[in-house]
């Protein structure tokens, strides 16, 4: 593809006007929105309002003027993006904490089933938290198998199948319908981690018949650094599962101040402590941008952006580890390179921000809300040039720092 062809695609891009809703620093091609989404202009305003007006002026009264209901309200807005009903999603805590709540609850659903089944190389916190969860349920264990062996490992002891829908490193996407069916056929629940799927690709939890899901707010949803995470429980499970993190905000009557815990009806029981108001304000503004987005258009554009960057990598012989078939992947593209870390640093120095994943992966997020075809064409051009000139060989780019 030529730059002119990329421009032509931009000229007819229905999503192009959304770019103006984001702050993007000049001189930077930001292809890391899968790690931290860009700042929506409205989020900066919402956070300022929450701070100076709601906190500063209204003070404690703001709890009755929108804060208290925010976890349900923002959850309801996320629902459409993941194919859920509004009363099936709530926002609060981190993805890790929400995974813990749901895994422990799922392990308790059927005493005959004690195994969490997951994939080797899943996002680390999913496996780490699963370790923590099995420590909280007598007899529980964690079975981690290679990706290709997951479906065959489902069995009569499986309590819950824990899968990350889109793989954080490779962008490989599980077939949500098929794996949900397989889990159910084995009598197990399924818990989908949508951190790299929500806002990246169309997701239909309800259509798949999924039981449980979590996901993070700060990647494709553009909710801000460390944004509150979301949690989904299908209606049929809402009365039967309860949270081990039984904090007061999940109580049926939090302001009755009684000693005994009694879980609230519906999704409210999955709350624990006081909601993180400032983070919630940013997240809500980020989610509101999505109200005008056609997810089919989003996904079509993501596929075009993928093809542009894939072609650039192929031109210099980069090994792409992401699936070529669009319906088998999420909305990022990853290449394998023996000097991936230094290559990533060299590209950052040239104004292209992607990220590195140990040991040899360089990863680029494709975020159609604020990336144009031209942006990605230019990113590809920088990538091609950096590989062709062996930019990674500069020792300055080989010094490792803590990265995310």
Which position among 279, 313, 368, 380 is part of the footprint of a second copy (CB under 8 A)?
279
Query: Is residue 109 close enough to count as binding a second copy by CB under 8 A?
Result: no
Query: Is residue 28 close enough to count as binding a second copy by CB under 8 A?
Result: yes
Query: Is residue 302 close enough to count as binding a second copy by CB under 8 A?
Result: no
CB 369, CB 19: distance < 8 Å: yes
Query: Is residue 149 close enough to count as binding a second copy by CB under 8 A?
Result: no
Is 370 annotated in the active site? no
Query: Is residue 251 close enough to count as binding a second copy by CB under 8 A?
Result: yes
Cβ at position 1, least distance to a second copy in Å: 26
- Sole window of 9-17, 131-139, 171-179, 325-333 interacting with a second copy (rule: CB under 8 A): 131-139
Q: Which of residues 206-235 bind a second copy (CB under 8 A)?
A: 216, 218, 224-229
The DSSP code for 107 is H
Cβ at position 341, least distance to a second copy in Å: 11
Q: Is the dihedral of CA 54, 56, 58, 61 positive or negative?
A: positive
Query: Is residue 127 close enough to count as binding a second copy by CB under 8 A?
Result: yes
Which position among 112, 256, 296, 399 is part of the footprint of a second copy (CB under 8 A)?
256
The DSSP code for 35 is T
What tokens appear for 30 in the block?
Answer: 């930001």
Query: Is residue 54 close enough to count as binding a second copy by CB under 8 A?
Result: yes
Cβ at position 354, least distance to a second copy in Å: 9
Query: Is residue 240 close enough to count as binding a second copy by CB under 8 A?
Result: no
Which position among 15, 29, 83, 95 is part of the footprint of a second copy (CB under 8 A)?
95
Query: Is residue 146 close enough to count as binding a second copy by CB under 8 A?
Result: no
CB 286, CB 219: distance < 8 Å: no
Query: Is residue 32 close enough to count as binding a second copy by CB under 8 A?
Result: yes
What is 127-184 written as a DSSP string? Answer: HHHHHHHHTTSTT-EEEEE-GGGHHHH--TTEEEEEEESB-TTT-BB--HHHHHHHHH
Question: Does the annotation flag 196 for ligand binding?
Answer: yes
Question: Does the annotation flag 124 for ligand binding?
Answer: yes
Residue tagged 């709890």 (tokens): 63
Cα–Cα dist 37/202, whole Å: 18
Is 355 annotated in the active site? no
**Which residue out of 219, 269, 301, 329 is catalytically annotated?**
219
Radius of gyration of the chain (CA): 22
Which of 37, 39, 66 has the alpha carbon at shortest distance from 50? 66
Cα–Cα dist 253/207, whole Å: 33
Which position among 42, 109, 182, 249 is part of the footprint of a second copy (CB under 8 A)?
249
Is 123 annotated in the active site? yes
- Provide CB contacts within 8 A for 395, sequence distance 6+: none
Q: Which stretch of DSSP H or E encloses residue 362?
A: strand 361-365
Cα–Cα dist 90/144, whole Å: 28
**Which residue out of 22, 218, 306, 356 is catalytically annotated?**
218
Cα–Cα dist 382/404, whole Å: 22
Is 363 annotated in the active site? yes
CB 189, CB 211: distance < 8 Å: yes
Query: Is residue 66 close enough to count as binding a second copy by CB under 8 A?
Result: no
What Cα–Cα distance (Å) separates residue 247 from each residue in 26, 103, 104, 256, 280?
Answer: 44, 17, 15, 14, 19
- Sole window of 4-12, 38-46, 150-158, 338-346 interacting with a second copy (rule: CB under 8 A): 38-46
332 φψ region: left (φ > 0), alpha (ψ -120 to 50), beta (else): beta
Query: Is residue 299 close enough to count as binding a second copy by CB under 8 A?
Result: no
Given the complex with a second copy, which of 250 and 313 has the nearer CB atom?
A: 250
Cα–Cα dist 340/293, whole Å: 34
**How many residues make up the chain in this entry?**
404
Question: Does the annotation flag 96 for ligand binding?
Answer: yes
Question: Does the annotation flag 164 for ligand binding?
Answer: yes
Q: Which of residues 363-402 bind a second copy (CB under 8 A)?
A: 401-402
Is 101 annotated in the active site? no
**Which residue out of 123, 230, 356, 364 is catalytically annotated?**
123
**Which residue out of 169, 269, 363, 378 is catalytically annotated?**
363
Which position among 29, 97, 116, 234 is part of the footprint of a second copy (CB under 8 A)?
97
Given the complex with a second copy, which of 256 and 296 has the nearer CB atom?
A: 256
Binding-site annotation: residue ranges for pyridoxal 5'-phosphate: 95-96, 123-126, 164, 193, 196, 218, 248, 274
Residues assigned a catalytic role: 123, 193, 218-219, 363
Binding-site annotation: residue ranges: 95-96, 123-126, 164, 193, 196, 218, 248, 274
């Amino acid at each position: 593809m030529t730059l002119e062809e990329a421009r032509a695609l931009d000229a007819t891009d229905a999503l192009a006007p959304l770019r103006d809703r984001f702050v993007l620093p000049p001189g930077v091609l930001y292809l890391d929105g899968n790690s931290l989404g860009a700042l929506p202009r409205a989020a900066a305003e919402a956070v300022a309002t929450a701070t100076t007006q709601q906190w500063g002026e209204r003070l404690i009264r703001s709890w009755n003027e929108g804060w208290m209901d925010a976890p349900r309200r923002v959850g309801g807005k996320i629902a459409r993006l993941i194919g859920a009903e509004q009363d099936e999603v709530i926002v609060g805590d981190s993805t890790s904490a929400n995974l813990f709540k749901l895994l422990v609850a799922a392990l308790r659903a059927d005493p005959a089933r004690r195994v969490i089944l997951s994939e080797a190389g899943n996002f680390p916190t999913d496996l780490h938290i699963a370790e923590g969860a099995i420590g909280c349920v007598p007899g529980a264990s964690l079975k981690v198998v290679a990706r290709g062996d997951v479906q065959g490992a489902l069995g009569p002891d499986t309590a819950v199948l824990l899968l990350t829908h889109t793989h954080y490193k490779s962008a490989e996407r599980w077939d949500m319908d098929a794996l949900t069916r397989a889990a159910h056929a084995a009598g197990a629940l399924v818990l989908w981690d949508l951190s790299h799927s929500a806002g990246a690709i169309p997701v239909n939890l309800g259509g798949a018949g999924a039981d449980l899901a979590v996901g993070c707010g700060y990647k494709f949803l553009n909710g801000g650094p460390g944004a509150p995470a979301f949690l989904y429980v299908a209606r049929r499970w809402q009365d039967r599962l309860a949270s081990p993190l039984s904090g007061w905000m999940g109580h049926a009557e939090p302001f009755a101040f009684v000693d005994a815990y009694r879980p609230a009806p519906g999704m409210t029981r999955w709350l624990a402590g006081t909601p993180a108001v400032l983070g919630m304000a940013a997240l809500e503004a980020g989610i509101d941008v999505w109200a005008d987005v056609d997810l089919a258009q989003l996904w079509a554009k993501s596929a075009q952006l993928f093809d542009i960057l894939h072609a650039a990598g192929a031109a210099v012989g980069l090994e792409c580890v992401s699936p070529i078939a669009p319906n088998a992947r999420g909305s990022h593209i990853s290449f394998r390179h023996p000097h991936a870390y230094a290559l990533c640093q060299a590209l950052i120095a040239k104004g292209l921000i992607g990220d590195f994943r140990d040991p040899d992966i360089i990863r680029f997020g494709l975020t159609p809300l604020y990336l144009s075809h031209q942006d990605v064409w230019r990113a590809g051009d920088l990538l091609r040039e950096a590989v062709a000139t062996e930019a990674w060989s500069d020792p300055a780019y080989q010094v490792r720092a803590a990265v995310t």
